Amino acid sequence: MQTLFIEKEIKYTGAQLKPHWIYRNFHLLGDCTVAFVGEVEVKLAEMVDIEDVINREPIYSKKMLNFIIEKFNIPLEQMIYIQRLFISIIKEVLEDRGIRTKRSGDDLFYDNRKLSVSIASQSITSCLIHTGLNIIKEGAPINASDLSEMNIDNVEAFAKDVMEKFALEVNSVKNALCKVRGISE
């Protein structure tokens, strides 16, 4: 699992949740996770979550820490399990910093306010996850929390910690696959 923190700000619109977006733009081929900071504005036409479209709930944040994960050769159900693992790792990294959050499915809450957005989807060649964490909650269309109120000032270091722990976990799973022998009758 390759990782990269992208230094330049990128406005996330949902268009980035496409197969090979990471490879085309940042030359990371294969399974990878990237993180970047930027405004988030996902209009209904770009929404992947059909429930949000039906409820007419577009996504907006003045500034978010965004993660995009792309994995190849796995079904969507498995990617959703990976999404839940990724959210749990974010929660763990926050707890390592003394910050208590609550996880419900693929969402994180701080002080009963929503910190994250996350979606897993499948393309014709890969499965993808977008997860965003509010850095600045002002302007969010819901009752939100943000990393700044948790005193996460070095967002890049935080993102790198999350990606490193996630990559270690993914690599550990691959090792676990290789070290067991098959069971016969």
In this prediction, residue 177 carries a pLDDT of 87
User: Could you give the CA distance from residue 113 to residue 63 in angstroms, rounded to a whole number?
Assistant: 16
**Which token pair is 16?**
């980035």
In this prediction, residue 53 carries a pLDDT of 59
3-class secondary structure for 21-42?
A: HHHHHHCCCCCEEEEEEEEEEE
Q: Which domains does the chain have, with CATH numbers?
A: 2-179 (3.30.930.10)
Instruction: List, for the chain, all residue ranges whose pLDDT scores fall below the cut of 50.
Output: none
**What stretch of H or E contains 126?**
strand 126-136
Do the strands 32-42 and 2-5 form a parallel or antiparallel pair, or are they unpaired? parallel
User: Measured between alpha carbons, how far apart are the two ends of the chain, in Å?
Assistant: 35
User: Could you give the CA distance from residue 119 to residue 121 in angstroms, rounded to a whole number?
Assistant: 7
